């Protein structure tokens, strides 16, 4: 971006000009949740002010308009991630999407025409990686516990890199599901998904992609990646909370039984039984987060208008600036890819003898917002010999100046806390 373009983008995000602790805000926590541009807030408000109605139900004109706006948002989001409209299921977020999938898979195993195809049981294996966010780990642990399947994982090395030499040994005829993150929320490393997809599909296993940290930051084409399912959250990509997506290949979604049942997802109901609509409605029981979905449509329109390739390039520069800057500070241990190696626009690090919470507090006093803790990835931190780390994460509106402010803050914190490397 030119400085003028970046200024224009920043002026769309009112939160960025707030003050925190007497300093202008330096927001480096977009990996946790992004700020929202006025265009998104306006789209949600416009819907609530002018069209608010029950979608897919009313015979009246307002309901028809609301339904059209709601379904247009689905089409917009589908195009944004290279999917078909009927392959986009609204959920409340990625966590809900992954749990929905894990429960639908265990429902499938218990009977029905497609039971064999989705069956997960004793002797079967579910493969994850050691760097997963808990949202893409615990639902699979629980599915394994419900069905008697075995959970296995691709380990990481001392630097946090996936040990891909193990893939051939770990993906076997027994593997039914391979659930893997596209971009690590702690390390910023991009997973070579093609390797997972090729090996998983060779043995007939389903691939589930956690796209929470890729959909907001990289141009994503789910059909091209050839994954079977994917999950992401709206709030990390300029939309409000309460909206997320489960993507599934059309024929898989239509063969999979629902998880939640109730209104809006049926064709015929008797006192004894019910028949279900095709996807996506069969997974959307009850009243949906309509205004939030519409806001997500506006969010991806905003991202597309800026250009995902340009956003990714901007953030990669900031990611390198973070990695280089942190590596140059004595006493800092950068996690994940070394400076110069590919990473997205985030970096986590640890400083021996300074607790991440103290560091976070020190930075907060200067108006610098970062994430501290285990970032919902305890096994990853344990493997790296840590209980917590500090993460700075950028987005399209982040600037080199902000990264410089942050790097000075870390340097000063190390002096302040008297840590001698």
* Stretch of residues binding ligand PMP (CB under 6 A), selected from 21-29, 44-52, 129-137, 162-170: 129-137
Q: Does 210 bind ligand PMP (CB under 6 A)?
A: yes
Please, what's the largest Cα pairwise distance for the chain?
Answer: 73
With CB under 6 A as the contact rule, the residue among 36, 74, 133, 371 that binds ligand PMP is 133
Q: How far apart are the first and last CA of the chain?
A: 37
Q: Does 35 bind ligand PMP (CB under 6 A)?
A: no
Q: Which residue has the tokens 């490397």?
A: 421
Q: Which of 236, 235, 215, 216 is nearest to 225 (CA)?
A: 215
d(CA 364, CA 358): 10
Catalytic residues: 376
d(CA 205, CA 40): 38
Site for ligand PMP in 365-384 (CB under 6 A): 376
Strand partners, 333: 350
Q: Does 135 bind ligand PMP (CB under 6 A)?
A: yes
Size of the site for ligand PMP (CB under 6 A): 13
Q: Which residue has the tokens 């507090």?
A: 361
Backbone φ and ψ for 164, nearest 5 degrees, come out as -75, -15
> Minimum distance between the CB of residue 133 and ligand PMP, rounded to whole angstroms?
3
> Minimum distance between the CB of residue 93 and ligand PMP, rounded to whole angstroms?
3
> Minimum distance between the CB of residue 311 and ligand PMP, rounded to whole angstroms?
17
> Minimum distance between the CB of residue 135 and ligand PMP, rounded to whole angstroms?
4
> Minimum distance between the CB of residue 326 and ligand PMP, rounded to whole angstroms?
20
Element (H, E) at 408: helix 400-416
Q: Which 3 state secondary structure label does DSSP give 150?
A: strand
Q: Does 95 bind ligand PMP (CB under 6 A)?
A: yes
Q: Does 94 bind ligand PMP (CB under 6 A)?
A: yes
* Stretch of residues binding ligand PMP (CB under 6 A), selected from 4-12, 101-109, 123-131, 205-213: 205-213
**Nearer to ligand PMP among residue 189 and residue 322 (C-beta):** 189
* Stretch of residues binding ligand PMP (CB under 6 A), selected from 11-19, 209-217, 274-282, 311-319: 209-217
Q: How many helices (H) and strands (E) in the chain?
A: 15, 17
Residues 6+ apart with CB under 8 A from 181: 129, 131, 132, 133, 136, 191, 209, 210, 212, 213
Annotate each residue in 320-349 with x if it binds ligand PMP (CB under 6 A) or - if it does not, as one string.
------------------------------
> Minimum distance between the CB of residue 273 and ligand PMP, rounded to whole angstroms?
33
> Minimum distance between the CB of residue 94 and ligand PMP, rounded to whole angstroms?
4
Q: Does 212 bind ligand PMP (CB under 6 A)?
A: yes
* Stretch of residues binding ligand PMP (CB under 6 A), selected from 132-140, 280-288, 306-314, 334-342: 132-140
Strand order through the sheet with 150-154: 88-91, 244-248, 229-233, 206-210, 175-181, 125-129, 150-154
DSSP class per residue in 46-64: HHHHHT---TTT--SHHHH
With CB under 6 A as the contact rule, the residue among 129, 233, 291, 390 that binds ligand PMP is 233
**Nearer to ligand PMP among residue 96 and residue 354 (C-beta):** 96
Q: What's CA 416's distance to the chain center, in Å?
A: 35
Q: Which 3 state secondary structure label does DSSP give 267?
A: strand
Contact 283, 138 (CB under 8 A): no
Q: Does 217 bind ligand PMP (CB under 6 A)?
A: no
Q: Does 29 bind ligand PMP (CB under 6 A)?
A: no
Residues contributing to the site for ligand PMP (CB under 6 A): 93-95, 133, 135-136, 181, 185, 210, 212-213, 233, 376
């Amino acid at each position: 971006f030119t400085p003028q373009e970046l200024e224009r983008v920043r002026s769309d995000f009112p939160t960025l000009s707030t003050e925190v602790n007497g300093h202008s805000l330096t927001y480096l926590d977009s990996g946790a949740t992004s700020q929202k541009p006025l265009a998104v807030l306006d789209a949600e408000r416009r819907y609530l002010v002018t069209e608010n109605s029950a979608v897919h139900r009313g015979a009246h004109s307002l309901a028809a308009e609301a339904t059209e706006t709601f379904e247009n948002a689905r089409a917009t989001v589908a195009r944004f991630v290279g999917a078909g409209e009927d392959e986009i299921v609204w959920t409340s977020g990625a966590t809900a999407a992954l749990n929905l999938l894990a429960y639908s898979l265990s429902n499938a195993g218990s009977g029905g025409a497609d039971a064999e195809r989705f069956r997960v049981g004793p002797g079967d294996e579910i493969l994850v990686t050691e760097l997963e966010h808990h949202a893409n780990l615990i639902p699979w642990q629980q599915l394994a516990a419900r069905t008697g399947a075995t959970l296995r994982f691709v380990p990481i090395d001392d630097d946090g890199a996936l040990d891909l030499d193990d893939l051939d040994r770990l993906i076997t005829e027994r593997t039914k599901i391979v659930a893997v993150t596209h971009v690590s929320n702690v390390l910023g490393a991009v997973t070579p998904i093609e390797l997972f997809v090729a090996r998983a599909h060779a043995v007939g296993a389903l691939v589930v992609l956690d796209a929470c940290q890729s959909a907001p930051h990289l141009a994503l084409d789910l059909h091209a990646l050839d994954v079977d399912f994917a999950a992401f959250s709206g709030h990390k990509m300029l939309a409000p909370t309460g909206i997320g997506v489960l993507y599934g290949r059309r024929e898989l979604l239509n063969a999979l039984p629902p998880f939640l049942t109730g209104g809006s997802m049926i064709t015929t109901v008797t006192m004894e039984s019910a028949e279900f609509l095709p996807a996506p409605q069969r997974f959307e029981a009850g009243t949906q987060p309509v205004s939030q979905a519409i806001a997500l449509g506006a969010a991806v329109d905003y991202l597309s208008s800026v250009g995902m390739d340009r956003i990714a390039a901007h953030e990669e520069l900031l990611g390198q600036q973070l990695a280089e800057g942190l590596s140059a500070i004595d006493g800092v241990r950068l996690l994940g890819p070394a400076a110069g190696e590919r990473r997205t626009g985030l970096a986590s690090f640890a400083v021996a003898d300074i607790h991440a919470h103290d560091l976070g507090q020190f930075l907060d006093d200067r108006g610098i917002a970062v994430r501290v803790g285990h970032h919902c990835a305890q096994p990853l931190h344990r493997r790296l010999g840590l209980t917590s780390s500090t993460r700075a994460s950028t987005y399209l509106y982040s600037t080199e100046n902000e990264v410089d402010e942050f790097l000075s803050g870390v340097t000063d914190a190390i002096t302040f806390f008297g840590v001698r490397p």
